[in-house]
A and B are shown apart, each in its own frame.
Chain A
């Protein structure tokens, strides 16, 4: 993400200067540092997963295979099937233990006293939070040293940044805030903005606010959760609803923003279109990094997404119930249109029946799309949107030079973990161990650090300029309206006309 200033409302995008990463050695470039840090953390998590294998793993795997066969064979009672599935999930959890899990933590939920968030099941989370902070400090301090930043100064700034991230988690962990889906990203940006727009961000804190490095490291780690084989979790119906409708909405919304609304910044248009059509915060972060959007553009898109998500998660279950849409079509509609996974789960729970399973699965398939979307956006931006040198079409090497390399790290990690996931129950357990045991929480901390950094480097004036004439809001509303219509049409066609037997087996339509 870049910070250069652009004009306000000429109606056409102004040319941008492309930062030349070759101006400095590769080991000082954020993309390579992010890939290096994420690789080390993944390797660490992988080794911890190997060391955490339970002693009775052979017996557990055999039991798991038996349970899988029993579930397939159980054609009768739903109660027995559910009990077998619960046993299977329990064994999978045992196999997916990780030594690092008790040491990687973040605050939980609280209602009236914030200290409740630092204790889970009678156990203090403070040591795990401090260990996580120490681990991240060690990783990012190496990067800062390579980038010629005085280590002690960076460490002091990073500790403050980490404390601000912790405060963001605590603000987001309050029960009312949490259950209405106002995520940590919002509070992290607002906390940073509060400091930068009142007392000002001190230079020692600004030097630790490495937004790009934190976000890109988080994204490469996120690659471990983008498992391609989950694409077929719901068979062809899932692919049609998530992978056909979503790109159509994304492209149409982007086109609408460029040609009809004439939004001055194409990158703002792209980030809002992606976060609205794909999966909220994670898609916004991935596309913003891929198209080098400004920091303020990312935070504005996330703010819009969170506000509309709160509205959607209250209204959409009402619409499903009032219209008699049915749990399968209603669940698919909610899963395809509400931005974040948590909000999808909460909204579909209010519909009941099969809706929660269908909605969460549709959202999961849509989540996988961010790998393809971020790669496509990175290629499109490098090829088409960035300025040409002296009017000459950029050469292949020039395109490679401009390409955001961290996207390749993200895809490589995704492909590696997807392959591992296909290696039977053992591979699946390994992936769960790495992700649930370590990288998922570290990824969230990286994003939270990135969002606080965005706030610390931003100015309210920028937001006023971007929100001029309300174009981003109009874009979001129009895009989401199209999304609601197309997703419903596709869900209806898929589950009543093309694959009614799938809807029946899921408990619908």
Chain B
């Protein structure tokens, strides 16, 4: 059986390791050219790489509008109908 002292030491050791990794190693890693380049590319393009769902992606509305325009611009595509006005919840 592991003693509670051993468990507490492990816990504190893990916390110390995390402090070193997040406080010292990762900030230095962020200065490497390859990593810096990836970070800058994502920032410039407005990308949130940790987006789980499409709604978490900051530039999704722009993308949807661009795709809608490109798909709608095809000669064979149906012409858009005017959007319904006077919605029950929003417009007066």
User: What is the interface of chain A, defined by CB distance below 8 A to chain B?
Assistant: 50, 53, 57-58, 61, 65, 68, 71-72, 75, 81-82, 85-86, 88-89, 92-93, 111-112, 114, 171-172, 174-185, 194-195, 198-200, 222, 225, 230, 233-235, 279-282, 313, 340-343, 345-346, 349-350, 356-358, 360-361, 363-364, 367, 420, 423-427, 429-430, 432, 435-436, 440, 444, 447, 501-502, 505-507
Contact = CB atoms under 8 A, between A and B. Distances in A.
A131 to B, nearest CB: 20
Contact of B69 (A71, A194, A279): A71
Nearest 4 pairs between A and B by C-beta? Answer: A426-B90, A342-B51, A198-B11, A424-B83
Contacts of A68: 80, 83
Nearest to B85: A424
Interface of B, secondary structure class, is helix
Interface of A, secondary structure class, is helix
B54 A357 contact: no
19 contacts: A65-B82, A81-B69, A171-B22, A175-B30, A176-B30, A177-B26, A178-B48, A225-B55, A230-B64, A233-B67, A341-B53, A343-B49, A345-B51, A346-B49, A356-B63, A360-B59, A360-B60, A423-B90, A436-B55
A439 to B, nearest CB: 9
Interface in B78-92: 79-80, 82-85, 87-92
Given A111-B27, A194-B11, 15 more contacts: A85-B66, A85-B69, A176-B39, A199-B7, A199-B11, A234-B71, A280-B52, A282-B52, A356-B45, A356-B63, A357-B67, A360-B63, A426-B90, A447-B52, A501-B76
A346 B52 contact: no
Q: Which of A53, A172, A427 has the most CB of B within 10 A?
A: A427
Nearest to A184: B50
Interface string B38-58: 110110010111111111110
Contact of B91 (A61, A92, A171, A182): A61
Interface in B11-35: 11, 14, 18, 22, 26-27, 29-30, 35
B63 A225 contact: no
Given A58-B91, A176-B35, A341 B70 contact: no
A349 B55 contact: no
A502 B71 contact: yes
Given A71-B69, A199-B7, A505-B71, A425 B57 contact: no
Nearest to B38: A179
Contacts of B41: 349-350
A343 B57 CA distance: 10
A387 to B, nearest CB: 33
A175 B53 CA distance: 20
A175 to B, nearest CB: 5
Given A343-B49, A436-B55, A430 B7 contact: no
Given A174-B26, A427-B90, A341 B38 contact: no
Contacts of B42: 179, 346, 349
Place the interface of chain B in its size category: 35 or more
Contacts of A176: 26, 29-30, 35, 39
Contacts of B27: 111-112, 174
A423 B52 contact: no
Contacts of B64: 230, 233, 361, 364
A196 B81 CA distance: 58
A447 B56 CA distance: 14
Contact of B57 (A184, A345, A424, A447): A345
A505 B85 contact: no
A175 B73 CA distance: 39
Given A85-B69, A357-B63, A178 B83 contact: no
Given A350-B41, A430-B90, A342 B48 contact: yes
A346 B30 contact: no
Given A85-B69, A181-B49, A361-B67, A440 B85 contact: no
A178 B67 contact: no
B92 A424 contact: no
B50 A181 contact: yes
Contacts of B35: 176, 179
Contacts of B14: 194, 198
A430 B11 contact: no
A345 B48 CA distance: 8
B42 to A, nearest CB: 5
A486 to B, nearest CB: 22
B19 to A, nearest CB: 11
A341 B56 contact: yes
Contacts of A178: 48-50
Contacts of B83: 65, 68, 424-425
Nearest to B88: A423
A67 to B, nearest CB: 10
B57 A183 contact: no
A380 to B, nearest CB: 24
A420 B55 contact: no
B56 to A, nearest CB: 6
Given A85-B65, A181-B50, A364-B60, A506 B70 contact: yes
A485 to B, nearest CB: 25
A115 to B, nearest CB: 12
Contact of B52 (A71, A230, A281, A430): A281
